[in-house]
């Protein structure tokens, strides 16, 4: 039985939803899971955990700065135990961009940090135009128009492959 810390960084809440799906799968394998927002995890003692998982969403082509700050500040602790990282982005809705080695945001992430998690994955996110602020909605629609994605301002589309999320959770439990 391992103690697993599951950290997340999210803009619209979907990365937390993915983590909430991952946690019970890991717990079913007789591990304990602590779920925490990375922005609130500064005081967490990483040595209390056997494994650490970080999930981070993309907004406007970037992971949030807090993700990189956390990793830089805790790099030695992260390197001393099994770790996993996943990113959540709409680009991953495309089959040719839904793997760590083909997703541009995962590749960008790995170039920007020297942390090398044992396990990597990429999940397509959720598009919820009605919940977006007007300027965000306009910008996201433009970006998706450029990439031939959905642009209906009333669209709410779930792109996440939950079977794949469950498989990732089982791999974390086995790490």
Q: pTM to 2 decimals? A: 0.92
pLDDT in tens, 97-113: 999 999 999 999 999 99
Helix, strand or coil for residue 30? coil
Domain 3-125+160-174 has CATH 3.40.50.360: yes
Which residues, in sequence order, are bridge partners of residue 51?
4
* Unique residue bearing structure tokens 């990365």: 15
Beta partners for 10? none
Question: Which tens digit of pLDDT belongs to each residue from 126-135?
Answer: 888 888 888 8
Domain with CATH 3.40.50.360 in the chain: 3-125+160-174
**Within a 13 Å sphere around the CA of 161, how many CA atoms are in the beta-carbon half?**
14
- pLDDT, residue 172, reads 98
* Cβ(136)–Cβ(101) below 8 Å: no
């Amino acid at each position: 039985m391992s103690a697993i810390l599951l950290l997340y960084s999210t803009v619209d809440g979907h990365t937390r939803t993915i983590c909430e799906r991952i946690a019970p799968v890991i717990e079913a394998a007789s591990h304990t899971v602590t779920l925490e927002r990375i922005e609130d995890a500064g005081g967490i003692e990483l040595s209390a955990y056997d494994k650490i998982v970080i999930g981070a969403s993309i907004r406007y082509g970037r992971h949030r700065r807090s993700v990189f700050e956390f990793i830089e500040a805790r790099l030695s602790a992260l390197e001393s135990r099994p770790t996993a990282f996943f990113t959540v982005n709409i680009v991953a809705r495309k089959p040719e961009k839904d793997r760590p080695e083909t997703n541009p945001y995962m590749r960008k992430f790995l170039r920007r940090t020297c942390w090398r998690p044992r396990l990597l994955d990429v999940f397509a996110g959720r598009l919820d135009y009605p919940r977006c602020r007007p300027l965000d909605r306009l910008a996201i629609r433009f970006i998706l128009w450029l990439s031939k994605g959905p642009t209906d301002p009333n669209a709410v589309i779930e792109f996440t492959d939950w079977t794949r999320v469950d498989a990732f959770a089982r791999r974390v439990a086995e790490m």
